[in-house]
Amino acid sequence: MESLAVEVAAYSSLQQKVRIGGFRPMKANEKFFNRKMTNNTNAIRPGNAMTVDVEDYFQVSAFDPYVDRARWGEYESRVEANTDRILAKFEQYNVKATFFTLGWVADKYPAVVRRIVEGGHELASHGWDHIMVTRLTREEFGKDIQRAKQTLEDVTGAQVDGYRAPSYSFTSKNNWAHDVLAEQGYRYSSSVAPIKHDLYGIPDAPRFAHTYADGAVIELPITTTRFLGRNIPCGGGGWFRLYPYALSSWAINRVRTDDGERSIFYFHPWEIDPQQPRVDGLSLRTRFRHYQNLTKMEPKIERLLKDFDWGTMAEVFSEELKLN
């Protein structure tokens, strides 16, 4: 098991390099820099993909041992209000994004899922009720993603092509997962984290687009950068919340310059909600990962929206998706 301490040490060392000037922290010129790079590759396609995993604060995988699925209805729901705030922010900065949404959320709160589509964003699937794929059989997984796709499409009339596994839970234990996505009519997945982590990840997976099921499904892994011989996550989530903004913006630019690639960034509606009700009895690690820096998240996201050029997965990876 890769401990949190090792991850923190690797990232801290990277952070130190940024501070002492070994790497250039991106400041005022980063927007220009990124747009220039974007224009060099393709003037029409946005440079990077912005994504949101639409789930409520009590549905995260780390809370599985503490929150009984059967009692989800008893928790105060915050997902509608938080998603609406994100939609307003995206409108303010003229950003279109992909919303990987739980079928459960679409079933309970169809209006907000319709507002996602009405806002011109891409609707995609985050499975039915956030059970990690590592806990499902092939048959159960097929039913889960079929039900989620059907519900999201029925509620909105939009076509759902994309899928992201709860907690990036495509691992070496479920190497049938991409084939099942193809069987259920999905065209792409963003479910692999090519990193070492105690809960998820395939450390030796390719870091960028690759295909499965004879090209029927494209995997677009969450973004990493190379540092000290390791893949370091830099595509959002807890890392973005925990570490200084300069580190994330440096990493996104580095993926562009060193790899010639587009970044995929993700965050959750509950991450911009410092007032969310607290769940009792959590382990120290889970409490830290979930609640740390929630107040800093919204201003950091705003900076990211201002500094880089964002679009939906379907827009940013339109060339790849044309091929499957």
Which CB, 14 or 50, lies closer to Zn ion?
50
Does the footprint of Zn ion cover residue 271 (CB under 5 A)? no
| Residues 153-192: x where in contact with Zn ion by CB under 5 A, - otherwise, as a string | -------------x--------------------------
Vertex 249: Cα angle to 39 and 18 (nearest 5): 130
Count of residues engaged in binding Zn ion, rule: CB under 5 A: 3
Does the footprint of Zn ion cover residue 56 (CB under 5 A)? no
The answer to whether 123 and 156 have CB atoms below 8 angstroms apart is yes
Burial of 183 (0-12, 13-18, 19+ CB in 10 A): middle
Least Cβ distance, residue 127 to Zn ion (angstroms): 8
Least Cβ distance, residue 35 to Zn ion (angstroms): 31
Which among 6-14, 54-62, 219-227, 295-303 is the span making contact with Zn ion, rule CB under 5 A? Answer: 54-62
- CB nearest Zn ion: which residue? 53
Which CB, 64 or 84, lies closer to Zn ion?
64
Looking at 7, 30, 53, 271, which residue binds Zn ion (CB under 5 A)? 53
The answer to whether 165 and 129 have CB atoms below 8 angstroms apart is no
Least Cβ distance, residue 287 to Zn ion (angstroms): 18
Q: Which residues of 277-311 are buried (b: 16+ CB within 10 A; e: fewer)?
A: eebeebeeebeebbeeebebbbebbeebbebbbbb
Give dist(CA 197, CA 58) in Å, integer. Answer: 22
Which residues of this chain interact with Zn ion, rule CB under 5 A? 53, 55, 166
